A and B are shown apart, each in its own frame.
Chain A
């Protein structure tokens, strides 16, 4: 048995089962018709404001889905947000530019944007070079995207997804171009730059919440509700464990340590 099961990681298994159970239960409830309440995020209102501004100015909207590949959860959340942004932009028959850092992500975003224009009744308005691949190298991508900002002068820029060292370069150039900027990332090291240089920022997990809120997909809403339940339990464990630990009982802390 020991050859197949790592007993040191039993706490991991219990944790995974507990979290999965919570999420599965709330997802199941949502699919049965229960509508979980999700509070509105201020940055989501900014999506509409930014698109409205672009329409008024008659300028394009730029959407950057991060620099990570499709296997990254942030990229998947970004594609959900892109779907909503693309539908709004397409309904006004405005151009939506989406430069990509990864070829697989590009094929996905291309599909999303093309469908959005078709859904909005303007399939002819979609041009294949709206969604383009620049390059895999992050700073090469940043140089290319900055060039697009300066030449196309978009009225609104969205940075939604996983960003690395190029985040500040992009956001600073976007700021210099005069665009209204909305960012969203769960990459903790890059969040400060977006907070400092963008008009609105979806911080960390808000990115996933935004994706669920905008799509109103029962699976995503239920999953978010399940994660909130897990957070409540974690907060309880922290308080309970801290009080016990301060009194000299270490078993809660020991259970969590491999």
Chain B
């Protein structure tokens, strides 16, 4: 694959900005600030452009141009949201906000009920005996005790004293063990991100060498 000078230049810019960000590991410095401001500015600009070309243009403007005037309702609601820019008419912006919150809440009810309540309760109902091996029995007991004690911890309308207090204490342990496992898992994922960045530096060097004709 042929490598152009522009490609190599882009790779070096990326590498230099990556190093600027890594310099934050030492302390806050002008190089980090430069990279930070470029990152924030480019991200904001990028999101503004993608917001227009991937959301507004195809979902609103193109449909209005096709004569589908139902989408004018969305345009009006969007316009109302912008009224917050004028303090005198800022109250107008609350209407589309309420509309959005209501729509999302209603839309998510079925999904939440199904995935986060019924399916979870159903999966917690397990056999405590008559399992083919003792490890399955032990696992099921851990699931049952873990769920019940964790629920006890999130019980807010009684003081955590007596039986509820003891159960809640066990629940905290269950939560902390879960968090520990999640922490370790994500740290591994972060290390793989670091490996990816190091390999990017390697790519920079490989492509530069190829462009210079020394490999």
Interface check A50, CB cutoff 8 A: no
Question: Counting CB contacts under 8 A, is B69 at the interface?
Answer: no
Given A37-B158, A39-B157, A151-B28: A71 and B104 interface contact (C-beta under 8 Å): yes
Question: Which residues, 33 to 78 on A, are CB-close (under 8 Å) to B?
Answer: 36-39, 70-71, 73, 76
Name which residue of chain A comes closest to B48, CB basis: A136
Establish whether residues B28 and A209, one from each chain, have CB atoms under 8 Å apart when the complex forms. Answer: no
* Residues from chain A with Cβ under 8 Å of B3 in the complex: none
A132 to chain B, nearest CB (A): 11
- Check: B84 CB closer than 8 A to any chain A CB: yes
**Contact across chains for A147 and B28 when beta carbons are under 8 A apart:** yes
Whether B179 pairs with A228 at a CB distance below 8 angstroms is no
A38 and B148 within 8 A (CB): no
Size bracket of the B interface: 35 or more
Interface membership of B59, Cβ < 8 A: no
Give A70 to B96 CA distance when docked, in angstroms: 11
Please indicate the chain A residues that have their CB under 8 angstroms from the CB of B65 in the complex: none
Evaluate contact between A143 and B44: CB separation under 8 angstroms: no
**Does chain A have a CB within 8 A of B95?**
no
Q: Which of A83-91, A117-125, A155-163, A249-257 contacts B (4 or more CB under 8 A)?
A: A249-257
Q: Tell me if A231 and B151 are in contact (CB < 8 A).
A: yes
Q: Are A70 and B130 in contact (CB under 8 A)?
A: no
- Give every chain A residue within 8 A of B125 (Cβ-Cβ): 238, 241-242, 245, 252-253, 256
Q: Are B182 and A147 in contact (CB under 8 A)?
A: no
Q: Are B151 and A143 in contact (CB under 8 A)?
A: no
- B151 and A107: CB pair below 8 A? no
Question: For residue B180, which residue of chain A has the nearest CB?
Answer: A192
Interface residues of B in 122-136 (CB under 8 A from A): 122, 124-130
Chain B nearest CB: distance from A120 CB in Å?
20
Among B8-16, B35-43, B200-208, the one that faces the other chain is B35-43
Q: CB-nearest residue of chain B relative to A15?
A: B113
- Complex: how many Å from CA A245 to CA B151? 21
- Nearest neighbor of B124 in chain A, beta-carbon distance: A238
* Contact status of A150 and B28, CB under 8 A, knowing A71-B104, A104-B81: yes
Q: Is there an interface contact between B155 and A231, defined as CB atoms closer than 8 Å?
A: yes
B129 touches A147 (CB 8 A): no
- Decide if A245 touches B127 in the complex (CB within 8 Å): yes
Task: State whether the Cβ of B118 lies closer than 8 Å to any Cβ in chain A.
Answer: yes
Q: Are B126 and A147 in touch, CB under 8 angstroms?
A: no
Interface contact B157-A192, CB-CB below 8 Å: no
Within 8 A of A (CB), among B19-66: 21, 24, 28, 32-33, 35-36, 39-44, 46-47
CA distance A78 to B68 in the complex (A): 38
**Counting CB contacts under 8 A, is B1 at the interface?**
no
Q: A242: which of B43, B126, B155, B160 is its contact (CB, 8 Å)? A: B126
Interchain CB contact under 8 A, A195 and B122? no
| Residues of chain A within 8 A of B152, CB atoms compared | 235
* Chain B: minimal CB distance from A3 (Å): 18
A161 to B130, CA, bound (A): 44
Please, which residues of chain A bring their CB within 8 A of the CB of B28?
A: 147, 150-151
Q: Please tell me if the beta carbons of B122 and A257 are within 8 angstroms of each other in the complex.
A: yes
A189's closest neighbor in chain B, by CB?
B182
Please name all residues of chain A whose beta carbon is closer than 8 Å to the beta carbon of B163 when the two chains form the complex.
none
Contacts of B144 on A, CB cut-off 8 Å?
238, 242
Point out which of A134, A237, A246 has the most chain B C-beta atoms below 10 A from its C-beta. Answer: A246
Please name all residues of chain A whose beta carbon is closer than 8 Å to the beta carbon of B33 when the two chains form the complex: 147
- Which A residue sits closest to B33, measured CB to CB? A147
Q: A107 to B101, alpha carbons, bound, how many Å?
A: 15
A residues less than 8 Å from B127 (CB atoms): 245-246
CB-CB < 8 A to A205: which residues of B?
Answer: 154, 156
Q: Add 8 more A-B contacts to A135-B44, A147-B36, A189-B182 (CB < 8 A).
A: A12-B114, A19-B117, A37-B157, A147-B28, A231-B154, A246-B128, A252-B125, A256-B119
Interface CB pairs A-B, < 8 A, 10? A104-B81, A108-B97, A136-B44, A146-B36, A192-B180, A192-B186, A196-B179, A228-B156, A239-B148, A256-B125
- B interface list, Cβ under 8 A from A: 21, 24, 28, 32-33, 35-36, 39-44, 46-47, 81, 84, 90, 93, 97, 100-101, 103-105, 109-110, 113-114, 117-119, 121-122, 124-130, 144, 147-148, 151-152, 154-160, 175-176, 179-180, 182-183, 186, 190
